Amino acid sequence: MSHPQIAIFARLADGNAAPVRAIAGQKTLMTRTTHGIAYDHIRDVILVPNFYAQSIQIYRGDADGEAPPVRMIQGSRTQLHNPDKLMLDVVNNEILIPQRDRVLVFDGNAQGNVAPKRVLGPTPGLGALLVDADPVHNLLVVAGAGGGFSGRFQIFDRTASGEAKPKWVRAGPNTELQRFMGPIAVQPTRGLIIAGIRTNGELGGPDNFVGVWDLFARGDARPIYRVGGPNLLLEQVRGITLDPKHKEMIVTDKRINGVMTYYFPEILGGSQPHPRTRTPRRPVWPDPQRAADPGT
């Protein structure tokens, strides 16, 4: 969400499709620098972090136009500091906010100037850039920088707090973990972590990719899938989400300003994992005139 709006498209939207609705305008209180968004399909709400207002804003799932938030998490007790990413554990109704040296966890119904229900950290070197939960195995995946390599996964107990240590760590040159781009996704029933990786400079390039790693592998283990390359349209991945019902992986890309939907039954269906590339089922460019805009 680089531009201050939430655009909602039909699931089968293709090409230069128009959104079916958009949440935008002064009353929404949204600002430009937001790199994470979450939808709670059980409670039908949309959650957005606000970098400048130090807040989490919650909208009705059917909100349209200049709709204000139905509630906000904001204030001195929240410990929020320039949040720009969040993830949602819909099973346990928890909001997860990575904050570099800590991970803040709020009750999904939290409102106002409330303290987190628990905090992992503060821990120097935690490097929490992205986070997601595995409610099946009760695990918390923290993705970020650290160690002698540019990226790593640290896996904690889901309810870890304070100075708790990770149960195991994935890092090393064979992992290909470099600069993480946008929200990650955990596929708990298959035990997988899916993440976008930037392999070069700020503006990205054709060697950026989406990787899939075994959640339970330790140390310097290679990805079991690698989706990337110039023929797959990925140049600067900004976020990933999964649609298990339709066996699809949805990827946003900042540089081409598009949303790509990949049919990926190996990670969402019943077949056994094996390395393979994928081509997008349908790329969507909401506004092709913005494709050349390198702004964040």
pLDDT digits (tens, 9 = 90+) for 157-181: 999 999 999 999 999 999 999 888 8
> Which structure tokens are listed for 70?
């139905």
Rounded Cα gap, residues 111 and 277, in angstroms: 43
Would you state the pLDDT for residue 228? 82
DSSP element (H, E) containing 248: strand 248-253
For residues 2 and 51, which has the higher predicted lDDT (pLDDT)? 51
Rounded Cα gap, residues 15 and 284, in angstroms: 5
Return phi, psi of residue 120, to 5°: -85, 120
What integer is the mean pLDDT of 139-143? 97
Cβ neighbours for 116, distance < 8 A, ≥ 6 positions apart: 78, 79, 104, 105, 106
Q: Compute the C-alpha angle 192/196/199, nearest 5°.
A: 130
Residue 154, beta-bridge partner list: 142, 169
Query: Are the C-beta atoms of residues 84 and 98 closer than 8 Å to each other?
Result: no
Predicted model pTM: 0.88
Would you state the pLDDT for residue 112? 98
Q: CB atoms < 10 A from the CB of 148, how many? A: 8
What integer is the mean pLDDT of 241-250? 94
Q: Is the pLDDT of residue 88 over 90?
A: yes
Task: Name the pLDDT band for 291 (thresholds 50, 70, 90).
Answer: very low
Q: CB atoms < 10 A from the CB of 296, how many? A: 12
Would you state the pLDDT for residue 215? 96
Q: Percentage of residues in the chain with pLDDT exceeding 70?
A: 86
Task: Name the pLDDT band for 230 (thresholds 50, 70, 90).
Answer: low
Query: Are the C-beta atoms of residues 154 and 219 closer than 8 Å to each other?
Result: no
Beta strands across the sheet bearing 139-146:
130-134, 139-146, 149-157, 168-171
Q: Position of tokens 């972590």?
A: 193
> Which structure tokens are listed for 295?
């702004």
Rounded Cα gap, residues 295 and 53, in angstroms: 20
Rounded Cα gap, residues 203 and 241, in angstroms: 22
Return phi, psi of residue 134, to 5°: -115, 95
Whole-number mean pLDDT of the chain? Answer: 87
> Which structure tokens are listed for 106?
């709020």
Q: Rounded to whole angstroms, what are the CA distances from 58 to 55, 72, 125, 151, 226?
A: 10, 6, 30, 31, 34
Cβ neighbours for 262, distance < 8 A, ≥ 6 positions apart: 227, 248, 249, 250, 251, 278, 279, 280, 281
pLDDT tens, position by position, 26-83: 999 998 777 889 999 999 999 999 999 999 999 999 999 999 999 999 999 999 999 9
